[in-house]
């Protein structure tokens, strides 16, 4: 028997296998069974975002957050879409909302840091990257970003130390 949980798990597997177009119908079918399940809306949004359907993904994330306002992942995902669309104020607002729901997300701290970095606010960016690294000390992206941030701030000693940490890690596979 096909359940919402089974469809969700299958959709997640397809999305992770870079087959989001196949995942979207599964999430939609699951939502006909459980329309108030915020996790299903979140996962649908992730698949839609991967296909470039940004407006649809935003709507799915907004539904997830409406059902469960504490769902930090939905807020963080909205922040990323707004960032990619160069809507920086909306992006910052979403990231801050995500962190108010879950301050222990290294990914959101890193993404907020990237936003600040792109706006030449290197001091705030560094603070965000440091928060990410407190939570996940070998977070490659945050180490890479904080190294570049330190260079921009003229703190070459710290940049060299972060560069040393980076060289000890294997870079992430794309």
- 87-109: per-residue pLDDT in tens? 999 999 999 999 999 999 999 99
Query: Within this chain, do residues 6 and 92 fall inside the same structural domain, yes or no?
Result: yes
Q: Which of 102, 132, 164 is the last residue of a domain?
A: 102
CB atoms within 10 A of CB 52: 9
Query: Within this chain, do residues 42 and 90 fall inside the same structural domain, yes or no?
Result: yes
Query: Within this chain, do residues 16 and 84 fall inside the same structural domain, yes or no?
Result: yes
Query: Number of folded domains in the chain?
Result: 2
Query: Within this chain, do residues 81 and 165 fall inside the same structural domain, yes or no?
Result: no
Query: Within this chain, do residues 93 and 129 fall inside the same structural domain, yes or no?
Result: no
Are 83 and 52 contacting, i.e. CB atoms less than 8 angstroms apart? Answer: no
Please state whether the predicted TM-score (pTM) of the whole model is above 0.75: yes
CATH number for position 12 = 1.25.40.10
Output the CA torsion 32→34→38→40 (10° steps): -60
Q: Which of 102, 127, 155 is the last residue of a domain?
A: 102
Query: Within this chain, do residues 1 and 36 fall inside the same structural domain, yes or no?
Result: yes
Are 129 and 112 contacting, i.e. CB atoms less than 8 angstroms apart? Answer: no
Query: Within this chain, do residues 72 and 126 fall inside the same structural domain, yes or no?
Result: no
Q: Which of 77, 102, 127 is the last residue of a domain?
A: 102
Domain extent, residue 92, equals: 1-102
Percentages (nearest 5) of helix, strand, coil residues in the chain: 80, 0, 20
- 118-131: per-residue pLDDT in tens? 999 999 999 999 99
User: Does the pLDDT value for residue 39 go beyond 60?
Assistant: yes
């Amino acid at each position: 028997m096909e359940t919402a949980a089974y469809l969700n798990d299958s959709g997640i597997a397809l999305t992770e296998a870079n087959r989001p177009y196949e995942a979207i119908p599964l999430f939609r079918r699951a939502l006909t069974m459980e329309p108030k399940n915020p996790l299903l809306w979140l996962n649908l949004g992730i698949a839609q975002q991967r296909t470039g359907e940004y407006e649809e993904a935003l709507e799915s994330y907004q539904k997830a957050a409406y059902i469960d306002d504490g769902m930090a992942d939905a807020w963080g995902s909205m922040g990323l879409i707004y960032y990619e669309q160069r809507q920086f104020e909306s992006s910052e607002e979403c990231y801050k909302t995500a962190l108010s729901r879950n301050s222990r997300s290294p990914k959101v701290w890193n993404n907020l840091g990237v936003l600040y970095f792109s706006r030449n606010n290197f001091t705030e960016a560094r603070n965000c990257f440091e928060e990410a690294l407190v939570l996940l000390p070998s977070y490659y992206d945050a180490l890479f970003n904080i190294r570049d941030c330190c260079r921009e701030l003229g703190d070459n000693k710290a940049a060299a130390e972060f560069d040393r940490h980076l060289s000890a890690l294997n870079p992430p596979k794309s």
